Amino acid sequence: MADADPALGARHHAHHRIELAIEFTRHPDSPALPVFFSAYYEGGNSKGKALIQPEIAALAADATAALRWDSLGLDPVALDLGFFQLRWYSLAYLAGIVLGWWYLLKLIEKPGAPMARRHADDMVFYATLGILIGGRLGYVLFYRPEFYFANPAEIVQLWDGGMSFHGGVIGVSLGILWMARKHGLDWLRIHDYVACCVPFGLFFGRLANFVNGELWGRPTDLPWAMVFPSGGEVARHPSQLYEAGLEGILLGLVLWFLFWKTDARYQPGKLVGTFILGYGISRFLVELVRQPDAGLENLSWGLTMGQTLTVPMIVGGIYLIATAKGRRQRVEPIAGSESVA
Q: Is the dihedral of CA 156, 167, 304, 159 positive or negative?
A: negative
DSSP 8-state secondary structure symbol assigned to residue 262: S
Residue 205 near residue 243, CB atoms below 8 Å: no
DSSP 8-state secondary structure symbol assigned to residue 338: -
Amino acid at the residue 105? L
In the chain, DSSP finds a helix count (H) and a strand count (E) of 13, 5
Residue 176 near residue 104, CB atoms below 8 Å: no
Please state the φ and ψ torsions of residue 278, each to the nearest 5 degrees: -65, -40
- Can you say whether residue 334 is alpha, beta or left, with left for phi > 0 and alpha for psi between -120 and 50 degrees? beta
Listed in sequence order, the DSSP H helices in 187-304 are 187-211, 239-243, 251-261, 270-286
Sorted by sequence, the CB contacts under 8 Å of residue 184 that are 6+ apart come out as none
Give CA angle at 101 (97, 104), nearest 5°: 135
Residue 338 near residue 328, CB atoms below 8 Å: no
Distance CA 12, CA 207 (A): 45
Distance CA 18, CA 184 (A): 63
Core vs surface per residue 66-100: b (16+ CB within 10 A) or e = beebeeeeeeeeeeeeeeeeebbbeebbebbbebb
Could you tell me how far CA 105 lies from the centroid of its own chain? 27
Amino acid at the residue 309? L
Does the annotation place 236 within a ligand binding site? no
Distance CA 80, CA 260 (A): 42
Name the binding residues: 206
